[in-house]
Amino acid sequence: MKHIFLDLDGTLSDNREGIIRSIAFAMSEMNLPIPPDQAILPLIGPPLRQIFTTLLPEGQRHRAEEGVTLYRERFSRTGWGENHLYDGIYGGLEQLRNAGFAPVIVTGKPREFARKIAGKFGIDRFLTGVYGTELNGRFDDKRELLAHVLRQENALAAHSVMIGDRREDMLAAVVNGVQGWGVTYGFGSAAELYEAGAATLFDTPDSWIKAVLQAGPTQN
């Protein structure tokens, strides 16, 4: 195992506060009802356009792009920083890099926000790359994003693992021939992850970090 592809929200960090507040801002600006937190949490992970299409009332779904624009207006100012790393992530990434692994963020978040978040927490020093979607919607499909990352990083699928908390992470792994490891402390369920092809599940960051270290790094 060499390349460790890592989802961001729900895997490395908990950005629910920033996401929920930015969605609430967008809905308020559109003069639409603000959904309760419990309606938003299960949606975190998939592309933002998909989230707004789901949340908008019937008859308003054509305004999804407007919602995305308003969301990003607030998220780019303050929402991205309303965030914290899960316990064990900082030290775990340091261990992985020092052991010879290549940790790479592969997130459905726009790349520019992912880079800011990695820099805020100081984990960028342990990463060999940070990849995400583009603001115009390119790479909204995580299967396409992971395929792009494999090419850019010259990574062998057989020597890589994708770690994430949502079905999109596992589906991307399966389609690209990468082993998929699911985490259950994020926003997805164990059933969702297994149904999407997860090879195994982990309940804490420490547990998957330990599993990677035990597997040992390959040379490519």
- The pLDDT tens digits of the residues spanning 161-186 come to 999 999 999 999 999 999 999 999 99
Give catalytic status of residue 7 as yes or no: yes
Domain 16-81 belongs in CATH node 1.20.1250.20: no
Q: How far is CA 158 from CA 170, 174, 177, 199, in A?
A: 15, 11, 7, 14
Q: For 77, which DSSP code?
A: H
Strand order in the sheet with 179-183: 129-133, 102-110, 3-6, 160-164, 179-183, 200-202
Indicate where the chain has its CATH 1.10.150.240 domain(s). Answer: 16-81
Of 7, 9, 14, 169, which one is the catalytic site residue? 7
Q: Which percentage of the chain shows pLDDT scores above 70? A: 100
123, 85 in Cβ contact below 8 A? yes
pLDDT tens for 106-164 read 999 999 999 999 999 999 999 999 999 998 889 999 999 999 999 999 999 999 999 99
3-14+84-215 CATH choice from 3.30.450.20, 3.30.9.10, 1.10.20.10, 3.40.50.1000: 3.40.50.1000
Indicate where the chain has its CATH 3.40.50.1000 domain(s). Answer: 3-14+84-215
Q: For residues 5 and 35, what is the distance between their CA atoms, to the nearest angstrom?
A: 32
Q: How far is CA 206 from CA 92, 103, 201, 209, in A?
A: 7, 15, 12, 5
Backbone angles phi, psi at 181, to 5 degrees: -115, 125
Cross-strand partners of 160 = 3
Single-letter residue type at 108: G
Backbone angles phi, psi at 202, to 5 degrees: -130, 140
Q: For residues 170 and 187, what is the distance between their CA atoms, to the nearest angstrom?
A: 14
- pTM of this structure: 0.94
The pLDDT score that the predictor gives to residue 218 is 83
